[in-house]
Copies of this chain bind each other. A is one copy, B any other.
Amino acid sequence: MRLSRSLIPTLKETPAEAQIASHRLMLRAGLVRQTSSGIYAWLPAGWKVLQNISRIVSEEQANIGAQEMLMPTVQSSELWKQSGRYDAYGPEMLRITDRHGRELLYGPTNEEMLTDLVRQSIKSYRDLPQCLFHIQWKFRDEVRPRFGVMRGREFLMKDAYSFDLDYEGAVVSYRKQMLAYMRTFQRLGLKAIPMVADTGPIGGNLSHEFIVLAPTGESGVFYDAAFEDIDWEKSNFNAHDPADLENFFQTATGSYAATDEKHDEAAWAEVPEARRREGRGIEVGHIFYFGTKYSEPMGLKVAGQDGGQLVPHMGSYGVGVSRLVGAIIEAFHDDAGIIWPDSVAPFPAVIINLKPGDAACDAMAEQAYAAFKGQALLDDRDERAGAKFADADLMGHPWQIVVGPRGAKTGVVELKRRSTGEKVEVSLEDALARIG
């Protein structure tokens, strides 16, 4: 995109309403604008980031055999009355009445709706297991929305739901999702640690939160450094082999890791001192096994192999997709702005033309821009060099290709890596080859 023709309204001043780094930087870098309390419009650069994250989440769900679908945002209250959650949910549920006086709601989650869809379609043990997910906007009417997209009202979430014949099957589904999560977060550039979470009345140890390490995180976290060295993308755990999944689960949960709420000083003392890490973290995902909590009251049953009827065991698996944009910025920024991981950056590179109108600069900048087939950002604005450099650092493009009048004569650009600040003068061809 050409910056002069794009709606990427960067701000020099820090907006007064923004208390945390990611909120400030998302506004300043022109990624989002609030349209009403806790509700945001995603401007072109922000929307690219959200799509990049969604694509990675979706690919890793597909890799474990989950099927993508899309459930609507507006739900009828009827199913929520069947599950008993309509009255229980409280004022965070956005309740709506349509023109005929029927009770609707803006879905905060989809257990009821998907249980109903599966109940209509699945009749036999042979049709299970099934795992389905969607990436859809949800609404939670927070009493005090804050921290930008980190605690908004309309937010984008990936929610998956598994249906298995029995507890053992549900455990396999749960572990598959955990493996998908470790790979997803790693591809997003994040170190995310699974930590045991409350399971409520069901009990057991099958509820985990995924916590991203960030100095500005909402919770304190304690973890064993052994965890840091595992490469989940390259690990050969096979999502379709239950024995492999058990090994994976031991690896992912075998070392100490806890939020301050769940911290256990006795267990912590057993971690060798050199491996103890303390920090802060942001919750970006939560997975949960809940047995027959919805299938039972909603009457989801399948014919079993022996002629009897089985009530499927379910789990649900959430990732806060829009929240991840904030979490990634909390983890990757400096005083000058955002430092995007390559996998989620809105543009792989910015090409800064220091002298638009100069024939040699224009030709070289256009040549560089063409090499990215429209995927890079071309800063072709009639602005001071200093303003362009500041905006490039603020927006956080992984690479900056600077085209100036001196270099344009000799075929040389300045190439800057945002994450390290390293700058080199190289030919345009070399610069493109380094970016890959």
- A interface list, Cβ under 8 A from B: 1, 4-7, 9, 30, 33, 35-37, 39-44, 46-48, 50, 62, 65, 67-76, 78, 91-92, 94, 96, 98-99, 102, 104, 106, 113, 116-118, 120-122, 126-127, 129-130, 132, 134, 137, 139, 141, 143, 153-154, 374, 382
4 tightest Cβ-Cβ pairs between the two chains A and B: A9-B121, A36-B76, A42-B70, A44-B67
Pair B47/A1 contact, Cβ less than 8 Å? no
Pair A141/B99 contact, Cβ less than 8 Å? yes
Pair A69/B94 contact, Cβ less than 8 Å? no
* Residue in A5, A76, A116 with the greatest tally of chain B CB atoms within 10 Å: A5
Contact of A39 with B99 at beta-carbon distance under 8 Å, contacts A5-B65, A7-B130, A68-B47 already known: no
Pair A7/B69 contact, Cβ less than 8 Å? yes
A-B contact pairs, 30 of them (CB 8 A): A1-B67, A4-B126, A7-B69, A7-B117, A7-B132, A9-B122, A33-B121, A35-B71, A35-B117, A36-B75, A36-B104, A37-B102, A39-B74, A39-B76, A41-B69, A41-B70, A41-B71, A42-B69, A43-B69, A47-B69, A73-B154, A74-B94, A74-B106, A74-B139, A74-B153, A92-B99, A94-B96, A99-B141, A99-B143, A137-B137
Bound Cα distance from A190 to B30, whole angstroms? 38
| Cβ-closest chain B residue relative to A63 | B374
Given A7-B117, A43-B69, A48-B68, 13 new contacts (CB under 8 A): A7-B67, A35-B71, A35-B75, A35-B116, A36-B76, A41-B113, A50-B70, A72-B154, A74-B106, A74-B139, A74-B153, A99-B141, A137-B137
Nearest chain B CB to A146 CB, angstrom units:
14
Bound Cα distance from A37 to B5, whole angstroms? 42
Nearest chain B CB to A380 CB, angstrom units:
11
For this chain, the copies found in one complex come to 2
Pair A76/B44 contact, Cβ less than 8 Å? no
Pair B71/A44 contact, Cβ less than 8 Å? no
Bound Cα distance from A42 to B127, whole angstroms? 19
